[in-house]
Amino acid sequence: MASVLWLARNRRCDSLPGLVPFEFERVKRERKIRVAVQRALAAIQKNVIRRLRREARESRTGLIANVKSVSDVPDDFEFWEEQKNEFVKQVGEQVADTILEGAFQAEKLGLAIDFDVVNQEVLDFAGQFMNEWWGRTATTTRDAMRTAIQNNIATGAPLSSLEDSLAPLFGRGRAQVIASTETTRMFAEGNRRGYKSAGIKTVEFQTVRDSRVDPICDALQGQELDIDDTSRFPPLHPRCRCWIAPITAEGAALTRVDTFGEAPQSLETQARGLQAGARKAEPSTTKALNKVVKKNNGKLIGTEHAIKTEKSLIRKMSKKVMEGIDPNLVGLEINDSLRYTMQFSKSSYAKSSQAALADLQAAGYRVSTIKNYWASPSEAYQGLNTTLLSPSGQRFELQFHTQFSHRIKEANHVTYRQVEGMVDGAARQALEQQMDELFATVPVPSGTSEMNWFDLGFEQVSPGMWEWI
C-alpha cells in the first residue's frame, strides 16, 4: 500500500494493510479457515445441546441442579473424541495447505527451497498439528462449559439458561478468533520449514507495526531468534498477526522493503499509490455496500466522493509526519483513501448500523475498528466511524449517520479545515467551540450508547472505541 515498487512486482500493494509481505494471502486463508471453524463449532454445539437435553430429559426435570450427569459432559472422553472427529472433518484439509503456503512464501522472498523435502515434512507434520489444534480448542471449550454449568447449578437456572450462556463458545466471534490465531501459527510454521530448507538459521520477529500491535509483540519487534526456538514465534496471543523474516548469511533480514526495494520517499508517490488501490477496489466495494444498505433500509450517500483526492491525501500524510510518523511509511497510516457513508433513519439507526456491519462481515469484509462517538462523552462529533478490510485486502472507512448528523458534519467541514491549519490559541478555540455547539444540536438516536460488537469478535478498549482482537 505504501510501496509502488512492491506493487509493480507483486500487483497487490494496494491490498495490503501493513508491512507483512503476505498479509493479503494470510487474510484470504484466514477467511477460508474461519468458515470451516464456524461450521465445526456449529456442529459441535448441536451435539452438546442434544447431549445436555438428553441428560435433563432422562432425569425428568429441567433444572440443572437436579441433573448430576450434566456436570459430567465436559469430562466425557468418548463424547469429546466424537467432537474431535467432527472438527477434523470440517477443518483438517486446511492444515497442510496453509502450512505449505507459508513454506512456499520463502521462495517469493528470494530463497531457494527444496520443495520435495518441505512438502513431505509438512504432510508428515499436519496430523500432529491438527491434534494440537484440537487440543487447544477442546481445552478452552470444556473449561468454559464447566464454569457455565457450575454457575447454573449455583443459581438453580433452567437448562435453557445454560444453553444461552454456552452460545458464544460456538459463535462467529470465537470462530474468528480461532481462525486468525491458528492461521498465523500455521503460516509461521510453514515459514520456518521453508526458511530452514534454504539453509536459514536465524529469523527476525516482525510485527505489522500499526496501532493494534500488542505490547508483548511490540517488545520483540526486530529481535533475532533461532529458527528452532519456536517458543517465541507467533502467535503470542489470540489474533496475533506477527510473522518471522529470514536472516541471510550476510545478516540481512528479508522483509518486504529489504526484498523489493525501498519505500517511496515522496508523499506524492504514496498518495498516487493509495489512489490507485482505491480506484481498483471502488466498483466492487460500492456494489457490496449498496446491497447491504438497501437490505437494512438505508442509503449510501456521497459515493461521488468515495475516492479521496491526491491533495487531501498529501495534506493528511503531511499532518501525520508533523506528529512524528516516518515519512517513508506514513501511507500505511491512511485508512480512508476510499471512504463511504451509510445513512439510516433515527428510529432504526442503532439496529440497522449493527446489522449492516454483521452483513458485511458475513460477506467477507473484515471490520478492524469501530468508533462509536455517540457513546463517547468527551467527543463533540456525533456518528459511528469504522475501518474495514475488503475481501481483496483494501482498507476503507465507513461512517454511519442519520440525516441530521450528516448535515451537521457537512456544515462543520469548512470550519474543520480552517482549524486543521491553525496553531493553538483563542481563534482556534473559538472555531472549535462553534463546531461543538453545532454537533450538540444533533439528536442522539435511541440505543446508540448500548451498541456493542462482542458477537463480531470485538472488545471495548475505551469509551466508544472497539477493536477487533
pLDDT attached to residue 212: 77
- What is the band of 354 on the pLDDT scale with cuts at 50, 70, 90? very high
Q: Is residue 111 assigned to a domain?
A: yes
pTM for the model? 0.58
- What is the band of 440 on the pLDDT scale with cuts at 50, 70, 90? confident
- What is the band of 451 on the pLDDT scale with cuts at 50, 70, 90? confident
- What is the band of 234 on the pLDDT scale with cuts at 50, 70, 90? very high
Q: Is residue 468 assigned to a domain?
A: no
The boundaries of the domain holding residue 139 are 20-254
Q: Is residue 14 assigned to a domain?
A: no
DSSP H or E stretch at residue 106: helix 77-108
pLDDT attached to residue 153: 81
Q: Average of pLDDT values for 325-345?
A: 88
Q: Average of pLDDT values for 324-350?
A: 89
pLDDT attached to residue 185: 95
Which of the pair, 438 or 243, is modelled with greater confidence? Answer: 243
pLDDT attached to residue 257: 38
CA distances from 163 to 53, 169, 276 (A): 10, 10, 49
Helix, strand, coil share (%) of the chain residues, nearest 5: 60, 10, 30
Q: Is residue 371 assigned to a domain?
A: no
Buried b (16+ CB within 10 A) or exposed e, 150-183: eebbeeebbbebbbebbeebbbbbbbbbbbbbbb
Q: Is residue 374 assigned to a domain?
A: no
Q: Is the pLDDT of residue 389 over 70?
A: yes
Contact of 138 with 76, CB cutoff 8 Å? no
Q: Is residue 357 assigned to a domain?
A: no
Lowest-pLDDT range of 81-85, 206-210, 281-285: 206-210
Q: Is residue 180 assigned to a domain?
A: yes
Q: What is the pLDDT of residues 145-160, one digit of tens each?
A: 999 888 888 888 888 8
- Crossing angle of helices 172-197 and 77-108, in 10° steps, is 50
- Number of structural domains (the chain) is 1
Give the other-Cβ count within 10 Å of 319's Cβ: 13
Q: What is the pLDDT of residues 34-61, one digit of tens each?
A: 989 999 999 999 999 998 888 777 665 5
pLDDT attached to residue 17: 40
* CA 353 – CA 362 distance, rounded (Å): 14
Of the chain, the percentage scoring pLDDT greater than 90 comes to 43
Q: Is the pLDDT of residue 253 over 70?
A: yes
**351 backbone φψ class: left, alpha, beta (φ>0; ψ -120 to 50):** alpha
Q: Is residue 100 assigned to a domain?
A: yes
Which of the pair, 313 or 153, is modelled with greater confidence? Answer: 313
Which of the pair, 130 or 61, is modelled with greater confidence? Answer: 130
Q: What is the pLDDT of residues 83-92, one digit of tens each?
A: 999 999 999 9
